Structure 1
Amino acid sequence: MKLESKKTIIPKSAEETYHFLSDVKNFEKLMPENISKFEVLGEDKFLFALKGMPEIVLKKKEAIPYNKIILGAAGGKLDFSLTAIILEITGDSSEVQLKFEGEFNAMMGMMIKSPINKFLETLATNLPKEV
């Protein structure tokens, strides 16, 4: 399953946006209102839960300065990644698109597609307000 958020313009340079997204504790500011738990587990790992959903642990897997940050599932039964693609538009603005990728059976895919799409759009919408 591959899902993408809309492209979002951030009123900060690609470098500033990258540094914001590189700090996992900043993801708490981007979470939807229905978050029931957020906990930083280390410099590159955090746990979160949305109401009615299981806890998810994300770990920073790869970071390419000013262009890309890849978070992946850390443990658990589901293997997926959340990638932030950062493009510099001007010296003081950048564009971010979030991409979700995971392998799920058909039933699981149908159940999680809508909530994940909504989650990606919420993160993308909150980015310009928080960076």
Structure 2
Amino acid sequence: MNLESPKVTVDKSSQEVFDFLSDIKNFEKLMPDNISKFEILDDDKFLFALKGMPEIILKKKEVVPPNKIVLGAAGGKLDFSLVGNITETAEGKSEVKLQFEGDFNPMMAMMVKGPISKFIETLATKMPTSI
């Protein structure tokens, strides 16, 4: 299952956006309002839970400065990744698009598609005002 957030424009350079997303503590600022738990586990891993959903642990898996950050599932039964693609469009301006890639059975995909789509859209739309 592949889902994409809308592209958002951020009034920061790609390096500034990359640096913000590289610090996993900053993901708390991007979380939806219905977050019920956010906890830093170590320098590159955090746990979060949304109301009505199980806890999810994300770990920084790959970094390609200043254009790409990949977070992936760290444990649990589901294998997925969240990719942040950053493109500098002008001096001091960047576009960011999030991609969610997960390998789910059809039943699970049907259940999680809506909540995950909304989740990555919220992360993306909060970026311009949070960075």
| TM class, shorter-length | over 0.9
Aligned-residue RMSD, C-alpha: 0.4
Aligned to 2:65: 65
Partner AA of 2:103 in structure 1: E
Aligned to 2:28: 28
Aligned to 1:76: 76
Which structure 1 residue ranges, 4+ long, deviate > 3 Å from structure 2? Answer: none
| C-alpha separation in 2, matches of 1:48 and 1:116 | 13
Q: CA deviation at 1:55?
A: 0.2
Aligned to 2:100: 100
In the alignment, structure 1 residue 52 sits paired with structure 2 residue 46: no
Q: CA deviation at 1:48?
A: 0.1
| TM-score, structure 1 as length reference | 0.99
| C-alpha separation in 2, matches of 1:64 and 1:115 | 28
Partner AA of 1:3 in structure 2: L
Partner AA of 1:50 in structure 2: L
| C-alpha separation in 2, matches of 1:42 and 1:129 | 26
| C-alpha separation in 2, matches of 1:58 and 1:108 | 19
Q: CA deviation at 1:127?
A: 0.4
> What is the CA deviation profile of residues 44-73 of structure 1, one whole-angstrom value per residue up to 9, with x for unaligned ones?
000000000000000000000010000000
| C-alpha separation in 2, matches of 1:122 and 1:3 | 13
Aligned to 1:128: 128
| C-alpha separation in 2, matches of 1:91 and 1:62 | 25
| C-alpha separation in 1, matches of 2:108 and 2:65 | 34
In the alignment, structure 1 residue 10 sits paired with structure 2 residue 25: no
Partner AA of 1:98 in structure 2: L
**Residue-pair matches, total:** 131
| TM-score, structure 2 as length reference | 0.99
Q: CA deviation at 1:91?
A: 1.7
Overall identity of the aligned pairs, in %: 66
